């Protein structure tokens, strides 16, 4: 890196810094076009009740399908969208698509599982967020009780008092509130108690390590589950990939499980097929 090698070398690196700026600008322009041309599609990942095996919720996960580049995953554009503010528009269109999808599933006779939508830190700080959501609900005839909002622990902790107010308004509108990526955001327990929330989603980084029952990860997961239940919250584990992990989580009374073990994020059509399969073949998912 230029910094490590002394000031005299700094000049040498300038062109590549500019190059990076140009790339960013190109990406930003592409993102704006993507919004205009409606290049975003939503994949849905099932979340299952650990005990009953019922589908409780599906998480809406955005993908950008670029005409030439193909499918682009959130890790490659969400942070740019956040920095440029474009996330506000993208977030609204994700919400609208998800609500419309819920309506289609209702019309097809699928059960009333919730849909969860991720809110970015920037979106969560928009004071007109409740208005925007109300507008989308009206347009799509969405039942608020079928929508769950996921806010990351670190976003919720940024301005705790404002977060509490915003969460209160959103919850009073009838939605379910989840804290996403829990365990990575240093939340203070006294604040956690004050947040009007319903669900804690344990970050997948802790789930990987639970194979070893004596590991720190296993201890942390046990502690989070007890903590959540003490606060009368439901707990979901994210990133569950193996039966061994699922058994452990069931033993520890983790309420819900989400991960590749039960289903990857999928298109609405694939989710419908998955749902039919789960409900006709007792061997799938039943143990
Ligand atoms: P997240 O909200 O924590 O979502 C879970 C991510 O973990 C998803 O990645 C999902 O595909 C992945 N995942 C689920 N189960 C497993 C598993 O068993 N193993 C592994 N290795 N991964 C698993 P994805 O779809 O790439 O999304 C990444 C992140 O991008 C999301 O993390 C969320 O923070 C963000 N994101 C996605 N869609 C949206 C959106 O519409 N708005 C906003 N603001 N952020 C979004
Ligand atoms: Mg999430
Ligand atoms: Mg997460
Ligand atoms: Mg994440």
| ipTM passes above 0.90 | yes
Percent with pLDDT over 70 in the chain: 91
Burial profile 22-35: b = 16 or more Cβ within 10 angstroms, e = fewer? eeeeebbebbeebb
Judged on CB neighbours under 10 Å (0-12, 13-18, 19+), 236 is: buried
How far apart CA 174 and CA 148 sit, in angstroms, is 9
Report CA(9)–ligand 4 centroid distance (Å).
37
Report CA(256)–ligand 2 centroid distance (Å).
14
Report CA(184)–ligand 1 centroid distance (Å).
15
Predicted pLDDT at 28? 94
Predicted pLDDT at 21? 85
Predicted pLDDT at 187? 74
List of E strands, 174-284: 176-182, 199-202, 234-237, 256-258
Answer positive or negative: Cα dihedral of 268, 269, 270, 273. Answer: positive
Confidence check: pLDDT of 1 > 50: no
243-247 average pLDDT score = 96
Confidence check: pLDDT of 253 > 90: yes
Report CA(92)–ligand 1 centroid distance (Å).
17
- Which of 74, 249, 258, 262 is the best mutation target for the ligand 1 pocket, counting ligand atoms within 8 Å of the beta carbon and taking the most? 74
Ligand 1, atom nearest to 241 Cα: 18
Check pocket membership of 10 for ligand 1, CB cut-off 6 A: no
3-state class (DSSP) for residue 97: helix
Check pocket membership of 259 for ligand 1, CB cut-off 6 A: yes
Residues around ligand 3, an ion, CB closer than 5 A = 180-181, 238
β-partners of residue 69 are none
pLDDT tens across 189-215, in order? 788 899 999 999 999 999 999 989 999
Mean pLDDT over the full length of the chain: 91
- Which of 41, 57, 61, 124 is the best mutation target for the ligand 1 pocket, counting ligand atoms within 8 Å of the beta carbon and taking the most? 61
Minimal-distance CA residue to ligand 1 atom 22: 239
Neighbours of 7 (CB within 10 A): 8
How far apart CA 272 and CA 267 sit, in angstroms, is 9
Higher pLDDT, 193 or 132: 132
- Do the beta carbons of residue 184 and residue 153 sit within 8 Å? yes
148: enclosing H helix or E strand: strand 147-152
pLDDT tens across 91-108, in order? 999 999 999 999 999 999
Q: By mean pLDDT, which of 23-27, 244-248, 259-263, 277-281 is the weakest?
A: 277-281
Judged on CB neighbours under 10 Å (0-12, 13-18, 19+), 209 is: middle
pLDDT tier at 169, thresholds 50, 70, 90: very high
Confidence check: pLDDT of 6 > 60: no
Residue in the structure block whose two tokens are 């239940």? 229
Check pocket membership of 120 for ligand 1, CB cut-off 6 A: yes
Predicted pLDDT at 284? 43
How far apart CA 188 and CA 195 sit, in angstroms, is 11
- DSSP character string of 23-87: HHHHHHHHHHHHHHTT-EEEEEEEEEETTT--EEEEEEEEEEEETTTEEE-GGGTHHHHHHHSTH
Check pocket membership of 61 for ligand 1, CB cut-off 6 A: yes
Judged on CB neighbours under 10 Å (0-12, 13-18, 19+), 80 is: middle
Higher pLDDT, 13 or 223: 223
How far apart CA 247 and CA 18 sit, in angstroms, is 51
Report CA(157)–ligand 4 centroid distance (Å).
16
Ligand 1, atom nearest to 240 Cα: 18
Report CA(181)–ligand 4 centroid distance (Å).
6
pLDDT tier at 12, thresholds 50, 70, 90: low
pLDDT tier at 280, thresholds 50, 70, 90: low
Check pocket membership of 236 for ligand 1, CB cut-off 6 A: no
- Do the beta carbons of residue 13 and residue 21 sit within 8 Å? no
């Amino acid at each position: 890196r230029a910094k490590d090698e002394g000031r005299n070398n700094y000049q040498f690196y300038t062109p590549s810094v500019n190059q990076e700026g140009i790339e960013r600008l190109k990406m930003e322009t592409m993102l704006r076009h993507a919004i205009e041309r409606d290049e975003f599609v939503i994949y849905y990942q099932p979340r299952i009740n650990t005990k009953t095996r019922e589908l409780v919720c599906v998480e809406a996960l955005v993908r950008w399908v670029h005409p030439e580049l193909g499918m682009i995953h959130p890790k490659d554009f969400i942070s740019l969208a956040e920095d440029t503010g474009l996330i506000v528009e993208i977030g609204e269109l994700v919400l609208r698509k998800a609500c419309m999808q819920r309506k289609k599933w209702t019309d097809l006779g699928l059960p009333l599982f919730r849909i969860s939508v991720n809110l970015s830190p920037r979106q969560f700080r928009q004071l007109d967020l409740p208005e925007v959501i109300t507008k989308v609900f009206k347009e799509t005839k969405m039942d608020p009780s079928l929508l769950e909002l996921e806010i990351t622990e670190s976003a919720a902790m940024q301005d705790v008092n404002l977060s509490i107010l915003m969460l209160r308004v959103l919850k009073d509108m009838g939605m379910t509130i989840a804290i996403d990526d829990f365990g990575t955001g240093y939340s203070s327990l006294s604040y956690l108690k004050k947040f009007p929330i319903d669900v804690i989603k344990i970050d997948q980084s802790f789930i990987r390590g639970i194979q070893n029952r004596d590991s720190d990860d296993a201890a942390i997961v046990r502690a989070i589950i007890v903590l959540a239940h003490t606060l009368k919250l439901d707990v979901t584990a994210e990133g569950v990939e193996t039966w061994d992990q699922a058994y452990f989580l069931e033993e520890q009374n983790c309420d819900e499980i989400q991960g590749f073990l039960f289903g990857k994020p999928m298109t609405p059509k694939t989710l419908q097929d998955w749902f039919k399969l789960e409900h006709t073949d007792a061997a799938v998912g039943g143990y």
